[in-house]
Structure 1
Amino acid sequence: MSDAPRTDALRTDAPRTDAVPSTPPAEQTSTGSIRIPSATGAIRTLGSNPATAPIMLHPGDSISNRRRVLYILLLGALTALGPFTIDLYLPAFPVLEQDFQTTAAAIQLTLTGTMIGFALGQLLVGPLSDKVGRRIPLIVVTALHVLASVGAAFAPSLELLSVARVLMGMGAAAGGVVAMAIVRDLFGGRRLVVMLSRLALVSGVAPVVAPLIGSWLLTLMPWRGIFVVLAAYGVLMLLSTIVFIPETLPVARRQERGGATVLQRYRSVFSDRVFIGVLIIGGMTFSGLFSYLSASPFLFQQTHGLDAQQYGLVFAVNSLGVVLGVQTASRLAARFGPQWVMAYSTAALLIAAVAIVVTDQLGLGLWGTIIPLFFFMTACGFTFPNVQVLALDRHGKAAGTAASILGATNFGVAGLISPVVGWISKDAGITATTMASVMVGCATIGILALWLIVRPRTVGMLAP
């Protein structure tokens, strides 16, 4: 891996490698498509004819604010398909256990299958979208999610439900990967920070409300109805993609076909020292977050005696910390650089996790856990968008591949680490100390990755 400082995408004093000189400014059509004049004076429309659209530095800079908001909402909803697929049916676990006459561990395997499908789907969809464009993989894989959701709704056995859940995970994976790649196609530099932060804000609502919506749906319909709702959501996203989302990757920028080319893209991404560093930081931060998510129902409801509604309120308040961090991070990253924002946010993750252990050992009770936990969640919000910016802004020509590696690593590593909380607790029950101990370990690894691998002083500032 190269140790040399970045001299292209992130430096303000160096040219972008994907820019075309002497290209006139882009225009916005009345329909919201991007009209890009070529160097010869010809007008090309990115929204309607991507095959002939010349390459510009940041094509999305000419999109109207109204169209930009539409893209944020649609791409955020596509990204949220993943969290909804994972979290919406969690309240139905006891009902599934009774209906299939099986164990809780067997029901939990359906969630494991979803995570596996999610990771595999991202690894497949990302490189594919770099080869054939964004729209086709997004449409096809979202359609797979719809069909798999219908299959889950009518699954006669737990085995078939598990298979359907794996396919649902693969189908939901396209939304997050392609959404990030589309944003990278259209934007770069500081505007990329802003767009990814707003995208994270929209999609970040899903993990907050999904368990609450799932509980409410169970009062209206049997558990199979939840999968019908997910199928309807998928249909809505499918139609929205077809109607509103243009192809953003011109043919001229698509990667050549062939397995060797795929390997070259992976080799290019993995040879980037900074990418490896932020990949570890993102995976560890996500693992710390998932350690909290997997432990919180037992910690707050069994250990602290909260009912389901009180737990939902605590969950929502803590999740607001992520939203606060995400929105503040975009402004700070544009001014000081994402690497320096992460220098503080990763330190805050460790401090907050240690504080949870200390307050629990001092016997400060529920509020002694909730307050530092809120700061931990806020630090997560500061970290996630800056990980994405540093990873994607450096690899615009392989944005789909880079995004897929990020997503697969986050879910794959978190799926392996989050059960450690239960393993440490064993028969003693989950406490704030056991939960936060895993969070401390994850935060420590993230800090080491930042200073030993990323090395913030070697990373240039974002281009305008």
Structure 2
Amino acid sequence: MTKRTYYSLILILGSLTALAPFSIDMYLPGFPAIAKDLDTTPAKVSLTLSGFFIGISAGQLLYGPLLDHFGRKKPLYFGLSLYILASIACIWVKNIDSLIVLRFIEAIGACVATVASVAMVRDLFPVQDSAKVFSLLMLVLGVSPMVAPTVGGIVTANFGWQAVFIILSIIGAVLLLAVILWLPNSFKPDPSHSLKPEPIIRDFISVIVEPQFYTYALTGAISFAGLFAYVSGSPMIFMSVFKVNEQVYGWIFAFLSIGFIGASQLNNLVLRRFKSEQIIPVALRTQLLIGFIFLVASYNDWLNLGITIFMLFLFLSCIGFANPNMAALSLAPFSKKAGTASALMGAIQMGMGSLISVVISMFDEPSTLPMIAAMAGSASIANIVYLVGKRTIKHEVEIGENAEAGLVH
């Protein structure tokens, strides 16, 4: 493989990985405009976000078996085509219920890009290069929350929120063309791989009963739900409570993403001195402390725009430290079922995100309290699940013990 081919593949796979996050982040500045045009509230508009999370969660479980049965490219053709059609349909919606349904369909289409790109890293690159490749994909993925809301804010302010979905449909079409023209057939279809529910469910059950998996996957998903609470609640807080415009909101969102992304990259340096098992409890307890202080400040009406941004930056940074370590320890016990475990972990994470975004959508009055209470609550429950779950783990498999087997299979 030439260097040009290597980096071309990284760019395509990274762009596929970023499609779903970009589709979320880019339309957030348009919440007030969507609410006004569709004669509803920003809180009800956040249900379109819940619909997207549910679609991503369901798609995680759907595409794993399909990618093994049909190969990588056919499911990509289907999913990206579905994404493009749903994005185009979003431009013409006349009511909020239609937008909720279309965002769910859009997510089902987008999800294949994430799942297939992870599988194709294992197909296309040597095992010893996998960690490096995933790090490069994370750099491409990290651009999304910094660029998407800023671009979305500018586009919404100047051309209307519908223009965001025009851009998303064009991005989907460009990715589909790239898959057709430049992405190789990396995996031979395996018709013997069963698509029947029974063996698939059996595999999922065998994963979820593993104490190390359910401890770290559930703790990670509940802790990560604080990020979903922020994503769901931030349009109302910044644009309705603090009265910033779409473009300023985009810049704030981009700045706060530096906390999450920066912490996850800094985590790689910290891992040179400390194990994941040591980092996780510190990150969780710090997240809980910050969430509690944030909640007290919100309840007593002590918050202004600057303090809110500062507290969110700290809270999201804690998630940036905790999440990669819990994901790695969730998958550590598995070799042959690493793909199943990964899909299940993603589905649980998105399921928690869907739940917390639905809760936040129930509050119509502009206030910082619902979002911050949800964030503090997620931190509290995550700490409890972690403490209880750790007691059930008899032998903790450390990161790397099954790493090579997991990547091979």
TM-score (norm 1): 0.74
Structure 2: gaps spanning 5 or more residues: 404-409
Q: Residue 436 of structure 1 corresponds to which residue in structure 2?
A: 372
Q: Residue 326 of structure 1 corresponds to which residue in structure 2?
A: 264
* SS class of match (2:201): helix
Of 84-93 and 279-288, more deviation after overlay is shown by 84-93
Question: 2: CA distance between counterparts of 1:388 and 1:244?
Answer: 31
Q: Residue 328 of structure 2 corresponds to which residue in structure 1?
A: 389
| Post-superposition CA distance 1:419-459 (Å, at most 9, x none) | 44565x775x423x553332222122222333432568723
| Structure 1 residue 411 corresponds to structure 2 residue 356 | no
Query: Which structure has the larger Rg?
Result: 1
Structure 2 counterpart of 1:216, one-letter code: I
Q: Is the 8 A contact 2:227 2:316 kept in 1?
A: yes
Q: CA RMSD in A?
A: 3.4
Q: Is the 8 A contact 2:41 2:364 kept in 1?
A: no
* Residues 317, 222 of structure 1: alpha-carbon distance in 2 compared, 3 angstrom cutoff: closer
Given candidates 148, 164, 167, the residue that maps to 1:226 is 164
Question: 1: CA distance between counterparts of 2:358 and 2:167?
Answer: 29
* Residues 252, 336 of structure 1: alpha-carbon distance in 2 compared, 3 angstrom cutoff: farther
* SS class of match (1:430): coil
| Structure 1 residue 89 corresponds to structure 2 residue 27 | yes
* Residues 359, 160 of structure 1: alpha-carbon distance in 2 compared, 3 angstrom cutoff: closer
Q: Residue 76 of structure 1 corresponds to which residue in structure 2?
A: 14
Q: Residue 307 of structure 2 corresponds to which residue in structure 1?
A: 368
Q: Is the 8 A contact 1:284 1:445 kept in 2?
A: yes
| Post-superposition CA distance 1:297-336 (Å, at most 9, x none) | 3333444454444433332221101111121223444664
Question: 1: CA distance between counterparts of 2:130 and 2:282?
Answer: 21
Given candidates 155, 163, 169, the residue that maps to 1:217 is 155
* SS class of match (2:336): helix
How many residue pairs match? The answer is 399
Identity %: 33
Q: Which has the higher helix share?
A: 2
| Structure 1 residue 114 corresponds to structure 2 residue 76 | no
Question: 2: CA distance between counterparts of 1:125 and 1:154?
Answer: 28
Structure 1 counterpart of 2:325, one-letter code: N
Give the Å deviation of 1:102.
Answer: 5.2
Question: 2: CA distance between counterparts of 1:131 and 1:386?
Answer: 31
How do residues 267-282 of structure 1 correspond to structure 2 at under 5 angstroms?
A: 267-282=205-220
Question: 1: CA distance between counterparts of 2:247 and 2:378?
Answer: 30
Question: 1: CA distance between counterparts of 2:316 and 2:128?
Answer: 24
Question: 1: CA distance between counterparts of 2:175 and 2:23?
Answer: 13
Question: 1: CA distance between counterparts of 2:307 and 2:37?
Answer: 39
Q: Residue 176 of structure 2 corresponds to which residue in structure 1?
A: 238
* Residues 438, 221 of structure 1: alpha-carbon distance in 2 compared, 3 angstrom cutoff: closer
Q: Residue 384 of structure 2 corresponds to which residue in structure 1?
A: 448
Of 329-338 and 228-237, more deviation after overlay is shown by 329-338
Q: Residue 91 of structure 2 corresponds to which residue in structure 1?
A: 153
Q: Residue 291 of structure 1 corresponds to which residue in structure 2?
A: 229
* SS class of match (1:458): coil
| Post-superposition CA distance 1:372-394 (Å, at most 9, x none) | 32121112222232333334454
Give the Å deviation of 1:73.
Answer: 3.0
Question: 2: CA distance between counterparts of 1:405 and 1:390?
Answer: 14
* Residues 181, 195 of structure 1: alpha-carbon distance in 2 compared, 3 angstrom cutoff: same
Structure 1 counterpart of 2:350, one-letter code: F
Question: 2: CA distance between counterparts of 1:162 and 1:264?
Answer: 32
* Residues 295, 270 of structure 1: alpha-carbon distance in 2 compared, 3 angstrom cutoff: same
Given candidates 287, 295, 304, the residue that maps to 1:357 is 295
Q: Is the 8 A contact 1:201 1:326 kept in 2?
A: no
Structure 2 counterpart of 1:418, one-letter code: S
* SS class of match (2:159): coil
Q: Residue 134 of structure 1 corresponds to which residue in structure 2?
A: 72
Question: 2: CA distance between counterparts of 1:166 and 1:419?
Answer: 14
